A and B are shown apart, each in its own frame.
Chain A
Amino acid sequence: MTIFDWFQRRSRKKKSKQPPLPIPDQYMEQHADDPIPNNLEKAVQLFTGLLEDSQFLTVRRFRLFGQFPAAMIYFSNMVDPEIKNADILRPLMYVPDHLAGTRIALKDLSDIVMNDALYYTGSERQQKMGKVILKLLRGGTAVLIDGLNDAIVMETTKIAQRSIDQPETEQVIRGPREGFVEQLGTNISLLRYRLPTTDLKVKTMDLGRVTKSKVAVCYLKGIANDALIQEVFNRLSKIDIDGALDTGYLEQFIEDSHYSPFPQIQNTERTDKAVANLLEGRVIILMDGSPFALILPTTFSQFYQTTEDYNERFLMVSFVRLARLQALVFSLITPSLYVAIISYNPELIPTEFAVAVSGGRAGVPFPSVVEVLVMEASMEMLREATLRLPQQIGGALSIVGVLVVGQAAVAAGFVSPITVVVIALTTIGSFATPAYNAALALRLLRFPLVGMASMFGLYGVMVGLILIANHVLSLRSFGVPYLTPIVPGNFQGMKDTLLRFPLWSMKRRPTLLHTDNDRRLGKDVDNQMKRPTNNTLDPLKVGNEKEDAEGGISPSDHGDTSGGDHH
């Protein structure tokens, strides 16, 4: 056989040799729909047998209404102690007042418990094993009654959560300091209190076979495009893994292009950013266990914008945004430009400087490419190191690393001083990019560009940039071209890309999202803004008060006693 046949045979063999995947949680797969046994003892045994956790799984037997044997099952480290004591056990032990003295039949029991006795609001009746176990696993409490195959399950979860604080990765000077936490319920509550409208829809689904994480898809109906919402659900429902630990897992499954270095879905920990994006017509995905919310669809222009841009005044903020964009560009091209100019086109720099630079490089043993790559690699190492260290050591290390090591390297003649400056500028530029995943993409793309620059100089840098630009131009996020609103051109959208136009001039929501309801502002706001302001406290009107005398307050006829007739 030929070598091609051999190849084919090999790939076929590999596929057939794979063993079947193990199925997690076999009990739940098979017995989820079984009814709860009537006999209390058997039921309790079934539960304790399944959930083998002697330390924390507690079975509290008691007599319901003083007569009927019952048991309360819960994980003691997951339930709220006050609730279980006061709100569950107490009312169940005493016959409710209005029923005192009547005979209570067994078959009516679950009814009486639910409707007359138990006043805890988070309770419901369940007959299926699967559901009861799931509730228990999540921190609920189940009350089993001898003779009934109903169980009362109650929502009593109380898991320690961290306090709501400004997220560390997205700090602003001016703006709310609220960030999402890991509990889905809290997160949704943070969204709801800011959007008290019936249009805010939150649809949940469970993803992950073992983790069964609750995933919530939030959107504003009527503003978000229906087809988009449908597509999001489609893509999410195709996910079939055993555990999803962070929204990042979801992102990787539903994004458009898996191989592109550029992220097509944004993520945030800030609540105001999530709400702002909801208002524009985007869809938010939240997950239990992760403080990061996914925002989709995403375009490139969102990666250098922050929520602070909208809180401050537009002139200053436009300038700051330009600075950020400059940082982004710097972080991508500075090292390759440096290599290209020094190694290929030194005639571009002024003569005096060129001669001085060659002096600075005279003792360095390596070509500038090697220098730049070595320094960049060490910079990446340093960055990772500072991430892992605790606060006290980490802070000092960054200063030590950059200043001292860099200085020492220069003094040792290992690198030239200009290289250090270039690398420092690049790193600072990449820190200034607000979105971490975009900064990561640009960080990565630096290296091929340096490679191209080292082979072909400025020409190589241009070719590399053209390749990157072409890739970005063909990228789409849920169908939206990645570089909207620059390409395809959209004038309204451009009011919020490089510069930020005043809030009252951005009348419509971004057309890239194809919303049905696209008016943002009321119809008259523009005219209102153009009218001159009312000088309420102008001294002319309210007078100047200086100690005792009252000066400057004049009657509106300026003391003219002639009665206004001046001819």
Chain B
Amino acid sequence: MIKGVWPGRIERLLWIGVVFPLLTGCWDRLEIEERAVVLAIGIDEVENGSEVEVPQITNESDIFAPPNNQLVRVTVQIAVPGGIPLGPGEGGGGSSGVGGGQRSIWVVDAVGNTIEGALNNLQERIAPPLFYGHLRIIIVSEAVARKGIDNLNDYFRRNPEVRRMNWMFVCKGKAIDLMKTSPQLERVPPLYLVSMMDQAVKMGRFPNDFLGLFWSASSALGKEGFLPYLSLKPQGTMEIDGMAFFVKDKMVGLTKPIEIPMYMGIMGMSPAGGQVYVQVPEMHNFVLFGGRARKSIIKSSIRDGEPHISIHTGIEGVILEKFSEGMPLDDRTIHLIERKLEHDALEGYRELIRKTQEKGSDIFGFGEIIRAKQWRYWNRHIGTEEAWREKYKTLDVDINVHIYIRRIGMKSR
């Protein structure tokens, strides 16, 4: 301590003066059971003409006037504390593992002018503070996606609690319907969707596209983002019905489900999980081919002052199923199948690229490759996102496909 009587006493006073106010409050303390843990958010638009009253919480009609736009409806799934027991469900609450979904989630919705406005209105009706730290799923209805999700993106980027590892989906119809379903296999239904996507990525059925990647792709100058497209199917299941591709923050188109592995084929993403029928030429038979690994090499060049992309892509796979007997599988047949598949795949790829070119949505990132490798051209002729979108519509793309069938399963022929 400081020597001397007076400096010592002053110092002690200083200490007391500084330390005590700190003890007055734990400002941020919020017990885990006092939070409303939001697990999933669904966003719909409110149709014109429906009778909806917006509570005057964030705005009054003249003062603090909100933007004059379509109202949004936000639905949230909140985890009910106690609805999910610790450990394998003990006797106590009487909730069994199966069908636990009903009791563990509470679905509520609210209306507002923007996302945060709607959430604010929601908070007015819910006692515990909403906590987004465990938010995993964001579902946007197709209507909203087509109108533009820039407000959404901004809100979620700004909120420090939201993770970038979430999944955002576009759904067919209304998001609120999806939110109300609860699949049987999971104690916490939104986690079902999360594991569905994670498994899809692992099985090679969908590219890794969580929110952070989507944002990076959207922000990049030469690339556009895409999101998985969900639709509700019978028995409470949900199906990935394709990819929704965007231009900036508006959805402009939808691919077919089969085009997902095609996209992955062009990009060369492994592992590969797509399966296609191949009609064996000369044999009137069909086999089902399953891909196991993909690789592609994408090269860029400038020809006659125009950018040019050439893709060499290869897929390795196995034969999963043969439609009928009468066609033993031998080396020659395998090669026939390979050639037919190459031909089909080439057509499919070209079709997909054309589809995206129509809308000017470069989800493959060819623009990024041009920007990175042919930067002189980029700096001089393109330079901005919009310019690339225009250019993409007429981009010349060359594709070469190689298929390798390696194995045919346990059956010898």
Contacts and interface: CB of A to CB of B under 8 A. Distances in A.
> Do A and B touch, yes or no (CB under 8 Å, in the complex)?
yes
Interface residues of B, number: 31
26 contacts: A343-B26, A344-B29, A344-B30, A345-B133, A346-B35, A346-B133, A351-B39, A351-B134, A352-B188, A354-B134, A355-B37, A355-B188, A356-B87, A358-B79, A358-B82, A359-B33, A359-B85, A359-B86, A360-B86, A362-B81, A362-B82, A364-B33, A367-B29, A368-B31, A368-B32, A418-B86
B93 to A, nearest CB: 9
B347 interface: no
B81 to A, nearest CB: 4
Contact of A352 (B30, B84, B161): B84
A418 B32 CA distance: 13
A43 interface: no
Interface residues of A, number: 28
Given A343-B32, A346-B35, A357 B26 contact: no
Interface string A312-347: 000000000000000000000000000000111111
A5 to B, nearest CB: 13
A352 B187 contact: yes
Interface in B12-35: 22-23, 25-26, 28-33, 35
Contacts of A363: 82
Interface of B: 22-23, 25-26, 28-33, 35, 37, 39, 79, 81-87, 104, 131, 133-134, 136, 161, 163, 187-188, 191
Contacts of B33: 358-359, 361-362, 364
A58 to B, nearest CB: 58
Q: Interface on chain B toward A: helix, strand, loop, or mixed SS? A: loop
Nearest to A339: B29
Contacts of B133: 345-347
A357 B34 CA distance: 12
A345 B35 CA distance: 11
B32 A351 contact: no
Interface of A: 342-347, 351-352, 354-364, 367-369, 417-418, 454-457
A455 B22 contact: yes
B1 to A, nearest CB: 10
Contacts of B85: 356, 359
Nearest to B36: A358
Given A346-B35, A347-B133, A347-B161, A355 B79 contact: yes
Contacts of B134: 346-347, 351, 354-355
B104 to A, nearest CB: 8
Contact of A361 (B25, B29, B32, B161): B32
A343 B30 contact: yes
B81 A359 contact: yes
A344 B37 contact: no
A15 B196 CA distance: 80
A455 B83 CA distance: 29
Contacts of B26: 343, 369, 454-456
A477 to B, nearest CB: 21
Nearest to B22: A455
Contact of B37 (A354, A361, A367, A454): A354
